[in-house]
Amino acid sequence: MKKALFLPILLFATTLSATAQSEAQAKLLTEAYKQHSTKMLFEFFDQWAEEVQSNENEAPDPYVAEAHKVFSAFYQPLDDAGSEWGKDLYKKEPYFIVQGSLWEIKQAKEIPDSYKEFSTLTTLDSAVEFRPPVHFEGKKIVYLTKGYKELLNAFLGNVHTELGEQNIMQPAFPIEESEKRHKFFTQAALIFYGHWGGYWQYETYPEANIIIFNQNMDRAKVLFRFVYEGGETILEKQNGEWIVVESRFTWIE
């Protein structure tokens, strides 16, 4: 089999660079892998959870504050919402990696029905630092910041087989040392290698990319990704609480 080695083997140094996040966390993750220690891996996640917490109370404007509430109602990783991945996808691993940012928050007089109408929307906020409070019984929450993404990228590496190398339907997938590290890491949290190759997908899905409000701020649409597919969810504000009224998948990679 032809293999695409996109980064040199020196990427897997004994000690990771401290520029990604704290040096102590990088060393802890590396040592956990060297010792094949699930206990140390969980310690890494617990310290991550302590270090990075929800920023709901720091929302810079009413739109971001309301987007946090919409996300909290929308985010149900234990409900597949019709995905081909199934409802049991996230039942095993003890940690959820929740997104730490949002692409955009938009507004329109009425929620658009199609992507063709997006050019008419008003952008309220973009590149939002976004860590909504979510809770699930038996799960612990960590938030994916830029620093932790860099740390994980350095730890896992990027040794992979290219998209379609074995057959036309085959996504890219990790091999060799990256595969071994991925297998170790997923004892704590389920993550995926990027469909097109060259990147990791860390978020515990669904991931909200864009949230669109109507003018009255009582109806919202969330455009989301779920592993290698995605769609849209409609929510309405009823008695002061956001409620999901419709969700469907609209695309697949």
Band of pLDDT at residue 134, cut at 50, 70 and 90 = very high
Nearest Cα to 247, choosing from 211, 222, 214, 218? 222
| Predicted confidence (pLDDT) at residue 15 exceeds the cutoff of 50 | no
Residue 8 inside a domain? The answer is no
Report pLDDT for 118.
Answer: 77
Q: How many domains does the chain have?
A: 1
Residue 51 inside a domain? The answer is yes
Residue 6 inside a domain? The answer is no
Domain that holds residue 32: 18-252
Region 46-71: mean pLDDT is 96
Residue 4 inside a domain? The answer is no
Task: Give per-residue pLDDT as tens, 174-232.
Answer: 999 999 999 999 999 999 998 888 999 999 999 999 999 999 999 999 999 999 999 99
Tell me the C-alpha distance between 43 and 106, whole Å. Answer: 38
Tell me the C-alpha distance between 33 and 16, whole Å. Answer: 12
Tell me the C-alpha distance between 208 and 244, whole Å. Answer: 14
∠ Cα 10 16 18 (to 5°): 135
Residue 9 inside a domain? The answer is no
**CA–CA distance from 6 to each of 11, 42, 157, 160, 165 (Å)?**
10, 29, 9, 7, 15
Residue 12 inside a domain? The answer is no
Residue 99 inside a domain? The answer is yes
Band of pLDDT at residue 78, cut at 50, 70 and 90 = confident
Report pLDDT for 167.
Answer: 63
- Helical axes 23-34 vs 146-156, angle rounded to 10°: 30
Terminal alpha carbon distance of the chain: 24
Residue 43 inside a domain? The answer is yes
Task: Give per-residue pLDDT as tens, 113-133.
Answer: 876 677 789 999 999 999 999
Q: What is the pTM of this model?
A: 0.87
SS3 for the chain, per residue?
Answer: CCCEECCCHHHCCCCCCCCCCCHHHHHHHHHHHHCCCHHHHHHHHHHHHHHCCCCHHHCCCHHHHHHHHHHHHHCCCCCCCCCCCCCCCCCCCCEEEEECEEEEEEEECCCCCCHHHHHHCEEEEEEEECCCCCCCCCCEEEEECHHHHHHHHHHHCCEEECCCCCCCCCCCEECHHHHHHHHHHCCCCCCEECCCCCCEECCCCCEEEEEEEECCCCEEEEEEEECCEEEEEEEEEECCEEEEEEEEEEEEC
Q: Which of 21-25, 97-101, 167-171, 238-242 has the lowest mean pLDDT?
A: 167-171
